[in-house]
Amino acid sequence: MDTSQLLKGVLDMAVLTVVRDADAYGYDVVRRLRTAGLEEVGDASVYGTMRRLYQAGALTSYVVPSDEGPHRKYYAINDRGRSLLEDSAKTWTSFADTVESLLAGNVAA
Amino acid sequence: MTTPTTTGAAQRYLGAVDSELSDLPLDARTDLVEDLALHLAALDQEGDDRPYELRLGTPVAYATELRLAAGLPPRVRAQVAEAPPRFLKVRQDWRRLTSSPAGREVLTFLPLLVPAWWVLRAMLLVAALSLFMFTGVIGLLSLVLVVPAIVGSVALGRRRLAPTSRRVLRVAEVVVTVWTLLVLPGVFSGNDYIYVNDGAPAAASEAFPLLSTAGPVTDIFPYDSAGVPLEGVLLFDQDGRPLRVGEQEWWADDCRRTTLPPRAADGVPVPFAYPQNYVLDGETTLYGGAVEPGQCQQLSRPQVPLPVFAAATPVPTPNPSASPLPEAGPSPSPAVVGPS
């Protein structure tokens, strides 16, 4: 099954989860998502999602200079982001349970 | 905008994505491009030398995906209005014209001019040949050729030609007429030579992205309103894209030079800050020979006339020719600060 369509629906939640665990810069978010198993996630999708979440006030950002290379723009979750993540997680869990139940053959006659 | 990476491939990819985002508000576009620049720099540090197009997709695909994920509207492209083919309209106009009373009168009169055209086309042919050989219109060769050419042309006109031959003749007439009419004004304007093609690029390219009517632009020398030469100036076009110039490939002293971009406050090189700084490159000339002592000249600004603007306070007298360009070493760094 093509997971790219599924991914679009849950990318907000995935990005919020990654930065909830630790502040991260864009490249780091992409890498962590892929390490977690979301290998098909596109770099542009991640950056676009972060930009949208930042505009929506769910993320904050700050710049950290680096001696070894270019500076890094870190993204951090805030209270609004945590609240959004909590709501999304509930919706996802409920939805996943429903589909799982459906697949298990529990269909009301 | 801080540019964290300056490799040619990165600049090209960034530029292409930036172009795809050119319809967005400047702040959104700046943020997205800056994020991408940082991302490319991070990718470079991975040591993976695959092209960006392979790792990230084409710039168009990247920009499209970015817009979609960011909730930004799709790119607005200019719509081409549906219009009937132009040739149909021209044909209709022609029919309307030739079916009018005046048009019919002209069409009746035109055959009377055919012999005159036979003479004229012979003269055009001789002129074309003379111009092609750069001997001038009124030369001995022309005088010798023009009479037999007219005789031949009239004889040819009186013959009934096969359709194919007639078509070939029509094409030849058009070619000769167009060639002669294009080049003839240059001859009569008193030019000693006729330049058909001087080799200058006709359109901007990656190597020469900025053209003026005089040819490729390879540097820019800004002055303020008081005539004071400015340095480390950043220039942007109407869409906020930095103005890039081509690389100067030839120098009057035959010495080899490369550009030395100034560095921003964070140490990142800023390409295309004007005027550009150059550093002498090696000990060989542009043609591979050894550089002679004293051969390489210090560069200076071109001497230009500057207007005098009205000023409330006295301004220093400009003297552009006395403002040498730094050949090497530290240069004033522009205040380049990336958006937060």
Model confidence over A7-56: pLDDT tens digits?
777 899 999 999 998 999 999 999 999 999 988 889 999 999 999 999 99
For residues B257 and B280, the answer to whether their CB atoms sit within 8 Å is yes
**Mean pLDDT, range A89-98, rounded to an integer:** 92
Is B38 close to A44, i.e. CB distance below 8 A?
no
Q: Counting one residue from A and one from B, how many pairs have CB atoms under 8 Å apart?
A: 86
- pLDDT for position B186: 59
Is A70 close to B36, i.e. CB distance below 8 A?
no
Q: What is the DSSP letter of B211?
A: E
> How many CA atoms within 13 Å lie on the side-chain side of B133?
12
Ranges of chain B with pLDDT below 70: 1-6, 77-85, 87, 131-139, 184-202, 311-340
| Percent above pLDDT 70 for chain A | 92
The first and second tokens of residue B50, run together, are: 């695959």
- pLDDT for position B322: 47
- The alpha carbon of residue B76 and the mean position of all alpha carbons in its chain are separated, in whole angstroms, by 26
| Separation CA B324–CA A21 (nearest Å) | 56
Is B66 an 8 Å CB contact of chain A? yes
At B62-77, the pLDDT tens digits run 999 999 999 998 887 6
The first and second tokens of residue B128, run together, are: 């074309």
- pLDDT for position B133: 66
Helices of type H across B159-238: 163-188
Residue A60's pLDDT band (cuts 50, 70, 90): very high
At B132-190, the pLDDT tens digits run 665 544 567 777 888 888 898 888 887 777 778 878 888 888 888 887 777 766 555 54
- pLDDT for position B302: 84
Is A26 close to B39, i.e. CB distance below 8 A?
yes
Q: What is the pTM assigned to this prediction?
A: 0.43
The first and second tokens of residue A25, run together, are: 């810069």
Is A70 close to B71, i.e. CB distance below 8 A?
no
A 10 A CB-CB count for B289 gives 11
Q: Give, in degrees to the nearest 5, the angle at Cα B232 between B226 and B238.
A: 85
For residues B210 and B245, the answer to whether their CB atoms sit within 8 Å is yes
- pLDDT for position B2: 45
- pLDDT for position B197: 45
- pLDDT for position B78: 57
The first and second tokens of residue A104, run together, are: 């298990």
Is B336 an 8 Å CB contact of chain A? no
Q: What is the DSSP letter of B23?
A: T
- The alpha carbon of residue B339 and the mean position of all alpha carbons in its chain are separated, in whole angstroms, by 32
- pLDDT for position B128: 77
Chain A residues within 8 A (CB-CB) of chain B? 11, 25-27, 30, 42-52, 55, 63, 65, 69-73
What ipTM was reported for this prediction?
Answer: 0.89
Among B5, B43, B65, whose Cβ lies nearest the Cβ of A44?
B65
